[in-house]
Chain A
Amino acid sequence: MTLLRTPTALLGFTILVVLALIALLAPLLFPADPLAIAGPALLRPFQDASLPLGTDRLGRDVLAELVHGARTSLLVGLAAAATSIIVGSVVGTLAGFIGGIVDEVLMRITDAFQTVPGFLLALAFVSVVGPSLPVVVLAIALSAWTGPARVARAEVLSIRERDYVAGARAIGMHPLKIAFREVLPNALPPVLALSSVIVAAAVLTEAALSFLGLGDPNRITWGGMIAEGRAVLRSAPYLSIIPGIALVVTVLGVYLAGEGVVEASAARKVRA
């Protein structure tokens, strides 16, 4: 497989597959509520076989939290990426395909969102609406959709002059139908290439929001765990190091795999 040609891409995909398995199997591995109090507070890792990674400030099982945290963290990343890519490509397609005043308006809006620092926007949005998982996802997507929108628009601009589009016009197809049936699918690949960057950024943004106390308290996320652990950064460093490592590994995996995809598609293009 071309995808797995480079060792780094192989590493990236391995990480992602393992993570996905952990996330999917979390309810089977740890059926109990991961937020339940399972033992004495601040138990260090490798002391108790039933609580291998120790416990947190309230005595919750760190391993169970970590595994369930994989679910939410990946969910946040994927949902934010999906939302921003869908919104971005729709906006980009409309702007690029219709052109004129619509293009102008949509692009100025895109500019506006790009001009405001994304994290500031997310911070304001979550503080105002109140922290819950969907709100956090939306807040991240709010600043991340502009990249896909720009790329999609650029692609659409080059595609819309091609023959098959002209053909579709000639047979009297509805312009919106042309835009979304004929043009968008062809414009999508370079947009999708952005997804790894967005997923990685989303996981990190969620962590930063949790750090500022803006995470969903009913769900466990790695960012939330790190934020919780920082009060005891000196006396119980494992509480922030363990989820920190998980975060680093995930972001690394997503990034490397994403790069593998880009390299592979580049290689395919060269051959084609």
Chain B
Amino acid sequence: MNRALRLIRRRLIASIPVLAIVVLGTFFLLEAAPGDAVDAYAASLGGDAGLSADLRAQWGLDQSVWGRLAAYLYALAHLDFGRSVIFSRPNLDVILERLPNTLLLMGSATALSFGLGSLLGIWAGAKPGSLRDRLLSVGSLAIYAVPGFWLGLVLIVIFAVQLRWLPLSGIETIASSKEGFARAGDIALHLILPVGALGLIYLALYLRMMRAGMTEVWRTDYVLAARARGLPRRRIVLRHVARNALTPLVTMLGVQSAAMLGGSVVIESVFSIPGLGRLAQESVAGRDTSLLLGIILISAVVVILINLIVDLAYALLDPRVGASEVQS
């Protein structure tokens, strides 16, 4: 356990400069943006010149770039994420309200693509080069090549509009006052389509990795030996081949977490899910610098934590990995 703690500490220290780069980069990117929060707001409003000036003063946009950066960093050091100009509420409240929805979507989609992907990968890799192997491989790639928003829209038309099996959008039935299990069931029902759309896209990744890994393992000596011993094929596939091919997939989970988070932006928009991705889009459109900074910072933290968890799990499963990490 001591080893795990050291790993955590190392990672946390390493993440500080990373987060600092992220904050500064995002801040200056948004500074370079033409138009500020007042311009974005004025688009829905009209009004005279005095009104825009009044709003700029009210929202603290009339200070210099450095003044605002200093103020932001000072607040951040005190774990204060500032106030959102588009929601006129504290950024952290706004973000934490949306974060669970995104994590739920991401988590379920990851489980789907990882679970189904590796299962199908085993099925395909059990007989490398067979017709079913080729079909699965190319078929999953074809889904991967479909833009996520399009897949989402088509799923909506089929399952929500035509068949009416599933709710169309949102995270739960609105204003339903459901509680406990009923509410959980309701949310699960709402998640089926978006999770399907997001998960199916990344399915190919795990399927192909699993399959490729299995193909490698088939060639290794001990599998050849097992075959020579005349063990049942099913047993060889599951016990020897699949098990060894599974480990690299676990590391992929961490790497993919950032991509999943990015992919959820579009899916949240299509399915009207109030998540972090949609919030990010709104904050960019509204030039809400501090809100977008908060979102990017929080998602970076999420990605770092997921990677840490994956590595920890990996280290605990496979002693060699953790050892070398700590020694180096």
| Chain A interfacial positions (CB closer than 8 Å to B) | 7-8, 108-109, 111-112, 114-120, 123-125, 127-130, 143, 200, 204, 207-208, 211-212, 223, 226, 230, 233-234, 240, 244, 247-252, 255-256
Q: Which residues of A contact B153 (CB under 8 A)?
A: 230, 233
Q: Which chain B residues in 1-42 approach chain A with CB under 8 Å?
A: 14-15, 17-19, 21-22, 25-26, 29-30, 32-34
Q: State the interface size on chain B (CB cutoff 8 A).
A: 49
Interface string of B292-314 (1 = CB under 8 A from A): 10011001100110000000000
Q: Which residues of A contact B304 (CB under 8 A)?
A: 115
In the complex where A115-B303, A124-B29 touch, is A233 in contact with B145 (Cβ < 8 A)? no
Q: Are A252 and B145 in contact (CB under 8 A)?
A: yes
Contact A256 B285 (CB under 8 A): no
Q: What CA separation (Å) do A125 and B30 show in the bound complex?
A: 8
**B299 in contact with A117 (CB, 8 Å):** yes
Q: A123-B281, A125-B29, A244-B150 are in contact. Are A109 and B21 (CB under 8 A)?
A: yes
Quick check: B299 and A211 within 8 Å, CB to CB? no
State in angstroms the CA–CA spacing of A77 and B130 once bound together: 32
With the chains together, A124 CA to B147 CA distance in Å? Answer: 19
- Tell me whether A212 and B32 are in contact (CB under 8 A): no
Q: Does B261 contact A120, Cβ atoms closer than 8 Å?
A: yes
The answer for the CA separation of A128 and B19 in the assembled complex, in Å, is 21
Query: A115 touching B258 by the CB < 8 A rule?
Result: yes
Q: Is B51 an interface residue (CB 8 A)?
A: no
Residue-wise, chain B 26-63 has the 8 Å CB interface mask toward A (1 for contact) of: 10011011100000000000000000000000000000
Chain B 256-294 near chain A by CB (<8 Å), digits 1 or 0: 001101110110010000000100110011000000100
Bound CA span A123–B292, Å: 11
- Main SS class of interface, B: helix
Out of B22, B141, B269, name the residue touching A252 (CB < 8 Å). B141
Q: Which residue of B lies closest to A105 (CB)?
A: B17
B141 touches A127 (CB 8 A): no
How far is A115 from B141 in the complex, measured between Cα atoms in Å?
Answer: 25
Q: Does B72 sit at the interface, judged by CB under 8 A?
A: no
Given contacts A111-B15, A120-B296, A255-B141, 9 further A-B contacts (CB under 8 A): A108-B18, A109-B21, A111-B18, A123-B265, A124-B296, A211-B266, A226-B147, A247-B147, A252-B138
Most chain B CB neighbours (cut-off 10 Å) among A109, A116, A234: A116
Specify which of A117, A130, A223, A248 is in contact with B303 (CB 8 Å cutoff).
Answer: A117
Q: Are B18 and A244 in contact (CB under 8 A)?
A: no
A249 to B144, CA, bound (A): 11
Closest chain-B Cβ to A223's Cβ sits at a distance in Å of 7
| Given A117-B299, A226-B147, residue A112 in contact with residue B262 (CB < 8 A) | no
30 A-B contacts, Cβ less than 8 Å apart?
A112-B25, A112-B300, A115-B22, A116-B296, A116-B303, A117-B258, A117-B259, A118-B258, A119-B262, A120-B262, A120-B265, A120-B295, A120-B299, A124-B30, A124-B284, A124-B292, A124-B296, A127-B33, A127-B285, A128-B34, A129-B33, A208-B266, A230-B153, A233-B153, A244-B150, A247-B145, A247-B147, A248-B146, A252-B141, A252-B142
**CB contact under 8 A between A211 and B147, given known A119-B265, A120-B261, A252-B142:** yes
Query: What are the residues of chain A within 8 A of B14 when measuring CB–CB?
Result: 108, 111
Contact of B138 among A8, A226, A244 (CB under 8 A): A8
Q: Are B32's CB and A128's CB within 8 A?
A: yes
B206 at interface, CB cutoff 8 A: no
